[in-house]
Amino acid sequence: MKKKTTDHRPAKERILDAAEQLFARRGFYGVSLRDITQAAGVDVALVSYHFGGKRELFTAVFERRAEVLNRERLELLEEVRRAALPAAPSLEAIANAFFEPLLERSARGGPGWKSYFALVAYVNNSPEFGPVMMTRHFDPLVERFIAVLREALPGCPAREVYWGYQFLTGALTLTFAETGRLDKLSGGLCRSSDLDSVRERLAPYVAAGFRALSARATAAASRTPVRAARKARRRS
């Protein structure tokens, strides 16, 4: 059954859009190809024709927006870096470059982008898909951000920066999932969908977190003689 409003965009894109929305809501296994093609108003067989199979469709959805997003984030990061020269940029500015493009797309990019971010939250938290797909599509970008974060945190051990990034990405993906739980919890005082609130708060939050990790590591090191510290570092 076709959709009432005749959509003249190519079937391939209509499938991608419908799949994006449904995968974001119910995960890879919670959606059938029939659900997807029915929502897209196309025939089931077209998935095989255009993508090969369900799995390939899933990765195609994931890849589609990852490229453009990463390019934007990388450009913004380098811009922030250049603007701060010869000093390193502030942690706030770096964090901001990491998620401002996401906020922008989520707020004004249309509903497809909202679904996409919920999908990333799903993938990032999935033991099955997370390590493979996040690594493949986002690690080069993340490595670059971590390198710049380390410039902004002189003397801070790499390990601390990685842990700080882990906490950051958890906060980020849950926030972009916009599950609406915060709305219920706060009795309407906060809204998951209120991205301006996120924009104002996430950078200060994680920047302060990074500073605390850095300070903690420095304090721990000065409390311990050099040789013991090396050993402790290997242990933990």
Partner DNA sequence: GTCTATAGCTTGATAGAC
Partner DNA sequence: GTCTATCAAGCTATAGAC
What is the contact surface with DNA in residues (CB under 7 A)? Answer: 2, 10-12, 31-35, 42-50, 53-55
Pick 109 or 205: Cβ nearer a second copy: 205
147 contact, one of DNA, a second copy, none, CB 5-8 Å limit per kind: none
CB of 232 closer than 8 Å to CB of 224: yes
Percent helix, percent strand, percent coil in the chain, to nearest 5: 75, 0, 25
Select 171 or 229, whichever has its Cβ closest to a second copy: 171
Pick between residue 2 and residue 201 the one whose CB is nearest to a second copy.
201
Question: 179: which DSSP letter?
Answer: -
Binding residues for a second copy restricted to 110-149, rule: CB under 8 A: 118, 121-122, 124-128, 130-131, 134-135, 139, 142-143
DSSP, collapsed to helix, strand or coil, labels residue 236 as coil
> Residue 45, interface with a second copy (CB under 8 A)?
no
Report the partner that residue 160 touches, choosing among DNA, a second copy, none (CB closer than 5 to 8 A by kind): a second copy
The answer to the question of residue 221 lying near a second copy (CB under 8 A) is no
Is the separation of the CB atoms in 47 and 76 below 8 Å?
no
Beta carbons within 10 angstroms of residue 149's beta carbon = 26
Q: How far apart are CA 14 and CA 10, in angstroms?
A: 6
Question: Residue 121 Cβ, how far from a second copy at the closest point, in Å?
Answer: 5
Contact 79, 70 (CB under 8 A): no
Cis peptide preceding 86, ω within 30 of 0: yes
CB of 1 to a second copy, least distance (A): 24
Helix, strand or coil, per DSSP, at residue 191: coil
Helix, strand or coil, per DSSP, at residue 115: helix
Smallest separation, CB 111 to DNA (Å): 22
Told to check if 224 binds a second copy by CB under 8 A, we report no
Alpha carbon distances (Å) from 47 to 1, 170, 210, 221, 234: 16, 33, 45, 57, 50
Residues 66-105 that bind a second copy (CB under 8 A): none
Binding site for a second copy (CB under 8 A): 24-30, 118, 121-122, 124-128, 130-131, 134-135, 139, 142-143, 158-160, 162-175, 177-182, 184-186, 189-190, 192, 194, 196-198, 200-202, 204-209, 211-213, 215-216, 236
